[in-house]
Amino acid sequence: MTGLPTLVFCGVDWAEDHHDIALVDAGGKQLAKQRINDDAEGFAQLTALLSEHGDRADAPIPVAIETSRGLLVSCLRATGRPVCAINPLAVARYRDRHPVARKKSDAVDAAALANILRTDMSAHRPLPADSELVQAVAVLARAQQDAVWDRGQALNKLRSQLREFYPAIREAFAAHKHGLYAREARAILAAAPTPTAATELTRRRLQSLLKQAGRVRGIQAEADRLHAVFQQEYLHQPPLVEEALGQQTSALLRRLNTACLNADQLEEATAQAFEKHPDAAIIRSFPGLGSLTGARVLAEIGDDRARFTSASSLKAYAGSAPVTRASGKSCKVMSRKVKNQRLAAVGYVWAFVSLTKSPGARAHYDRRRSAGDRHVAAQRNLLNRFMGMLFHCLQHCQVYDETQAFPNPLPEHLSTTAA
């Protein structure tokens, strides 16, 4: 922060229905403490308390809180004051510095949060001043990613369920690119949740189900193949048990269909919001990034240019930069465990897809593999380079340029392939 040094610090111990507030001065003396409700009246009480102790627009009192989300945090950020989200584990360590009896209360935690800013404010970065649009993109992108993870869990549960009593449907779609996730498989499962019901499906009925699932080619041949598969001999559960398993399968299928619908709708909404952002063109210019993956990257790094002071900080945030642990004669270079897990996840996809989109990225990956890196390590090194390029492009409002990104000449076999 610039200007005069801050003389008052605020700590907020967050709870579901109320919050404890503590104000301390530069010497550590507690100036005020108060409990407020989680509503508009409580927020008004908080701002009034801050104003009583010198809070001004040109010199706002910084606030420390244990979460980065919620209405209270959003309203505090809207006022323009610095808000630092402190890890609860760090708060517990700070709390142990003072009371020997290890007592704990909401008021004690609020005071500990305020003292964290008083003693180590430079070690805790305020929440970024992201625009409203990028905050909306972050909500949609994270929700879509959660929906994809829910879809995967629902599919795994359904697959495990079918393994118990329905080998015919598993064999019918074993060679399909999407397996049981395919629309044809889900349509047939909805019409025939048990193997006995599948044997009763006629070729005409199968053709109708395939059309409903969106298939437009080879419908008759596929219907004949599925009919032959369902008419084969398989092991069966007892009739009553099979019927019960069929009802459970229908319930799991409804969950999978809902997860698929949520993921598709959120993907469309995420892409639309992402395309409205001015950084979209820069991010999409990178090989391996599309509207959805680009939105996930933007959601995690934001559009506050002052958030990352250097490319190294962005690389560390993404988890692509290694960590060096040195003590005496021991020195180890290890992969970074503490990172933004969502950004690291989309970064792996980004680096993997770029291998087929960028000759320079492929050559860089091959050089790392030749140097002894395993696949994941080589991709992480490639992502580390991409993160540095992304930082530069965003800071200078430039799109990606392959010739500047990978100026080294390609190996002869790669240049022949690219041509």
Last residue of a domain, one of 215, 245, 272: 272
Q: Please tell me whether residues 143 and 266 are part of one structural domain.
A: yes
Q: Which of 254, 272, 290 is the last residue of a domain?
A: 272
Instruction: Classify residue 355: in a domain, yes or no.
Output: yes
Residues 340 and 365 in one domain: yes
Q: Tell me which DSSP letter residue 306 carries.
A: T
Cα 41 from Cα 80, distance rounded (Å): 20
Residues 113 and 161 in one domain: no
Asked whether residue 67 falls in the same domain as residue 161, the answer is: no
- Considering the domain boundaries, does residue 277 fall inside one? no
Entry pTM: 0.84
Cα first-last separation, the chain: 53
pLDDT (0 to 100) of residue 4: 46
Domain co-membership, 245 together with 334: no
The predicted structure's pLDDT at residue 412: 46
| 176 and 196, same domain (yes or no) | yes
Closest CA to 78 of 4, 135, 21: 135
Residues composing the chain: 419
What was the pLDDT predicted at 100?
62
78 lies in a domain?
yes
Identify the domain containing residue 188 by its residue range: 136-272
Write the CATH number for 51: 3.30.420.10
Does 401 lie in the same domain as 292?
A: yes
| pLDDT value, residue 415 | 45
Same-domain status, 203 and 166: yes
Q: Could you tell me if residue 367 is inside a domain?
A: yes
Residue 288 CA, distance from chain mean position: 17
Q: What whole-number distance in Å separates Cα of residue 155 and Cα of residue 369?
A: 34
28, 59: one domain: yes
- Report yes or no: 109 and 93 within 8 Å, Cβ to Cβ: no
The pLDDT of residue 157 = 95
In a domain, 2, yes or no: no
Question: How many whole angstroms separate alpha carbon 299 and alpha carbon 414?
Answer: 34
Same structural domain for residues 308 and 392?
A: yes
Task: Indicate if 323 and 398 belong to the same structural domain.
Answer: yes
Residue where one domain finishes, among candidates 73, 106, 127? 127
Sheet containing 63-65: order of strands: 30-37, 18-25, 8-14, 63-65, 83-85
Amino acid at 57: A
Q: How many domains does the chain have?
A: 3
CB 191 within 8 A of CB 201: yes
Helix (H) or strand (E) holding 332: strand 330-334
In a shared domain, residues 310 and 214: no
Q: Which residues in the chain land under pLDDT 50?
A: 1-4, 412-419
Cα separation, 199 vs 233, whole angstroms: 10
